[in-house]
Structure 1
Amino acid sequence: MTKKYQIEIPKAALEQTDFQPGDHLALSVNHKQIDVRSARVIDQLPQIVFWWYALPAAVVTLIFYAFFCQRNAVHPIPLTGSDYSLANGTMFLGVISGLVLFITTFIVEKVKKTGPTKDFYWRSLPPLAIACGLIMVFSFSAFFWLLGQMFANASFDLYTTTVFAFVIFAAVNYVMINLAMTLTSGVVTNLLTIMIIGGMLFSMLTNSSRDWWKHNFSFLGTAENSASLQFNVTLTFSGLLMLTLVDYLFVNLQKRYRGWQVLTLRWLLYMLSACIASIGLFPNDPQFHILHDRVSMWLVYIMLILIVLVRWLLPEVTRQFLILSYVMGALMGLEYIIFKLSNYLSLTAFELLEFGLAFSWLLLLLQNIENLARFGHNLFLVKITPVEDKTK
């Protein structure tokens, strides 16, 4: 009875790895897929030396200590709620330190061609760095807001505050180095999601008018809202980040799938990214009102065109995705009819529902493209051959 099988690996596939003939490898089965990798677990993780993040953290901590020592040598330093608090100090210096290390690691990995960063273009670095910076700001704000609620009016002496600051700086530096060393299209998609959702929630929570929802969703980006800058910057750089993601995905996708269909899909997604960025660049203020409305309508038209034509534009599209696309398109159309013919939905509710459906479908589309791009040009044919047990 045959109990063993032999897999023949093409030479072209082996050359893209660090494996050598005779190496002992580990094989795992996950979701009916066979994954072959190094038997050493440490080889599967990014190798981050302690000093890479600890030394920059120590330097930034010294700057933090020197500033607060000169500024507030006697009084305790508040956790939050002051311009000279632990929250503001660590946010300002932590974002700078994290961004410097992210950019440095990206450049080193790109030049050495040792990690997934090598597949990104140099033009991808600015929007990726800005997106990471904005996400760090949102994360710091949420983290210290939570701490402020848990430890109201808390304050610490200079030395305790400095220790806290070092731990925060070291953690941020480690995360940013790890992010640059493991950057993939899936990670960029997650960054895009976090940036859009986090930025909008941040704008809703920090805006000056609690009755913003009585106007419309675009009110968050107008001059009447104190948090308009966060909202508009989020949309602008979300569009640029999506442009980077589309650029990366389609370069890999078009290595296998060619033709006017894929090229049309690529340019429609470029136009969609430009519309998202333009909505942030031209808020719904009086001087930009007409342009803002036009761009918003172009965004809707492009989404509808994508949903209708995805059957012909997306290679190897699945029946499940087609059904889901048409269901979402029908729901968006039904909401529009209900909004226009009745007072059941307010303008804000209509815009939020349409945004939720459109963004969810867009993420599914990008996920499908990511799968095709990931497996398209790295797909090799292998043969499984049974091996007879010679011990019998």
Structure 2
Amino acid sequence: MSTSTQNRTSRDENLALLLGGIGLVVGVVLALFILKPQSAIFGRGSVGELGAFVAFFAAGIGFLIAMRLTGFGERPWLEKLSRPRRFLDQAGLALVHASFAFFAATAVYAVFSGAFRTLDLDRYAGAFTVGLVCAIAAYVSASSATTLTTESLSVLVALFLVVGSLASALSSSDPQWWQQHFSALGAASDRSGVLFNFTLILSGLVLMALADFLTHDLSTWAEHHDEPVWKVRFIRVALVALGLLLGMVGVIPVNLSMFWHNMVTYGAIGVFAVLLVGVPILLKKLPGGFIAVTLIVVALLAGVVYLHLGAGYLNITAFEMGAVSSVFVWLLLFIRTVTAAVNDVPEAAQVSRVISTDTYISDPPEPV
């Protein structure tokens, strides 16, 4: 089955409900033992703090269990990946779901704290909310694992990069950080620095997992259109390199080494430039609208560069935001184009195999 579509079954729903129920029980029991007789809704030592951390683990574990029990069965090509690649893919995806659960729980408790000011919760009311948050986190993550597609994964990594960066900016102790550049967030000594670098590292890891999913779909399309395998390998290597370099930007913040931070940043820019130029040339049989999209993105990037370097209208932070937004818009539209093209391939041709280079192509359709 193509990873561009993934049907949800009653077995998948039952598993998600079961994990949600287990999460509810575990969350309530933990909260009853940990919470004080009276606790604030939000803040240090509060119900919200416990709920956010419990949601983090519930979402991550729920995703891994669901992926293991149903995800591999519905995506047999994943089992053919090498162990290190399977581990990295699963770890990255689980951490992203866990992080989203943490962010969402924190935001919900913060909103309720603002709405019900001065209200403290007793141990039992607090335990109920923690259990509820834990159940929702486990259920949603398990549901995501059973229906994960290339397209949904691309949206996931883009959203995580945005949410993580905004969370880092909101928690920054320097209100004027934006007058420098985005990398200033990663150089901070407070939690905003840790959060920003963690966001970049994890986004890079998930982008590498996305390369596996996209390569699988692209191979199906390439086989059907008699495209050579090396083109698919080229796209995969470029995406893996882009993910690796994005993660390295977080591993090497500017306060650790300005030189190497800039080198990996320039490397990521170079890889994207190669993709931007190479994909429309190599994959000419993709829908023609994608060529127009690529030209528009090139024009947007040129406009952003002019507004920063030429007109001096945008500072470096605004320039980085515009450039990164253009990059991910192009990636998302490229992936949507590929998944749409794969959906046009007859189902009989969507039987995949893994060649010795760990790059996916499709087996020829069986004789009718």
The alignment's TM-score, normalised by the length of structure 1, stands at: 0.78
Query: In 1, Cα distance between the equivalents of 2:49 and 2:320?
Result: 34
For the residues of structure 2 that align with 1:186 and 1:247, how far apart are their CA atoms? 12
Q: Where do 4+ consecutive residues of structure 1 move more than 6 Å?
A: none
Mapped pair 1:264 → 2:234? yes
Q: Residue type matched to 1:301 in 2?
A: G
Query: For the residues of structure 1 that align with 2:346 and 2:186, how far apart are their CA atoms?
Result: 41
Amino acid at match of 1:229: V
Q: CA deviation at 1:231?
A: 0.7
User: Residue in 2 aligned with 1:369?
Assistant: 338
> What is the distance in 2 between the residues matched to 1:179 and 1:125?
13
State the 1:302 CA deviation: 2.0
1:66 aligns with 2:54: no
Per the alignment, residue 319 of structure 1 pairs with 288
Partner of 2:42: 80
Given the alignment of the two structures, is residue 274 of structure 1 paired with residue 236 of structure 2, yes or no? no
Identify which of 117, 120, 135 aligns with 2:78: 120
Instruction: Write the mapping of 1:208-227 to structure 2, written as runs, cut at 5 A.
Output: 208-224=173-189, 226-227=191-192
Equivalent residue in structure 2 for 1:193, among 137, 140, 158: 158
Could you say which residue in structure 2 is the equivalent of 1:89? 50
Unaligned runs of 5+ in 1: 1-15, 17-34, 382-392
Contact kept in structure 1, 2:157 and 2:206, CA below 8 Å: yes
Larger radius of gyration: 1
Between the aligned partners of 1:366 and 1:42, the Cα distance in structure 2 is 25
Q: 2:51 is matched by which residue type in structure 1? A: T
Note the C-alpha offset of 1:350.
1.2
2-side partners of 1:262 and 1:42: how far apart? Answer: 31
User: What root-mean-square deviation, in Å, do the aligned CA atoms of Structure 1 and Structure 2 show?
Assistant: 2.6
Which residue type is aligned with residue 40 of structure 2?
P
2:266 pairs with 1:301: no
CA separation of 1:379 and 1:206: change in aligned 2, threshold 3 A: farther
CA distance in 1, matches of 2:345, 2:269: 30
> d(CA) in 1 for partners of 2:113 and 2:44?
11
Change (3 A) 1:379 1:325: farther
Going by fraction, where is helix more abundant, 1 or 2? Answer: 2
Residues 1:165 and 2:123 aligned together: no
Look up the SS of the partner of 2:347 in the other structure: coil
Q: Percent identity?
A: 21
Distance 1:338 1:263, change over 3 A: same
Tell me the distance in 2 between the aligned counterparts of 1:197 and 1:187. 15
Report the residue type matching 1:243 in the other structure: M
Aligned equivalent of 2:297: 328
SS of the equivalent of 1:361 reads: helix
Q: 1:364 to 1:65 in 2, by over 3 A?
A: same
Structure 2: distance between partners of 1:356 and 1:136: 24
- Mapped partners of 1:334, 1:186: distance in 2: 28
Q: CA deviation at 1:379?
A: 5.3
- TM-score, normalised to structure 2, is 0.82
Q: Out of 289-298 and 167-176, give the one that drifted further.
A: 167-176
In structure 1, distance between residues paired with 2:117 and 2:13: 39
Question: Are the equivalent residues in 2 in contact too, given 1:102–1:176 (CA < 8 A)?
Answer: yes
Per-residue CA deviation, residues 271-316 of structure 1 (Å, 9 max, x unaligned), is 111121111111111x311111111112222222222222222352
- In structure 2, C-alpha distance between the alignment counterparts of 1:290 and 1:97, rounded to whole Å: 39
> 1:128 deviation in Å?
0.9
Q: 1:225 to 1:53 in 2, by over 3 A?
A: closer
1:26-37 to 2 correspondence within 5 Å?
none
Structure 1 residues 155, 218: closer, same or farther in 2, change over 3 A? same
Indicate the SS of the match to 1:193. Answer: helix
Give the residue type in structure 2 aligned to 1:67.
Answer: I
What is the total number of aligned residue pairs between the two structures?
A: 334
Alpha-carbon distance, 1:44 to partner:
9.7
Distance 1:225 1:95, change over 3 A: closer
CA distance in 1, matches of 2:271, 2:64: 34
Task: Report the CA distance shift for 1:350/1:54 in structure 2 as closer, same or farther (over 3 A).
Answer: same
Once residues 315 and 71 of structure 2 are traced to their aligned partners in structure 1, the CA distance between those partners, rounded to angstroms, is: 49
SS of the residue corresponding to residue 156 of structure 1 reads strand
2:183 alignment partner AA = S
From 44, 56, 61, give the equivalent of 1:100: 61
The structure-2 alpha-carbon separation of the partners of 1:329 and 1:92, relative to structure 1 and needing over 3 Å to count, comes to same
Deviations 1:318-344 (A, max 9, x none): 322112211211221232234223422
Partner amino acid for 1:58? V
Runs of 5+ unmatched residues, structure 2: 80-85, 351-368
Distance across 1 between alignment mates of 2:349 and 2:215:
20
SS of the residue aligned with 2:26? helix
Give the Å deviation of 1:102: 1.8
Native 8 Å contact 1:220 1:231 kept in 2: yes
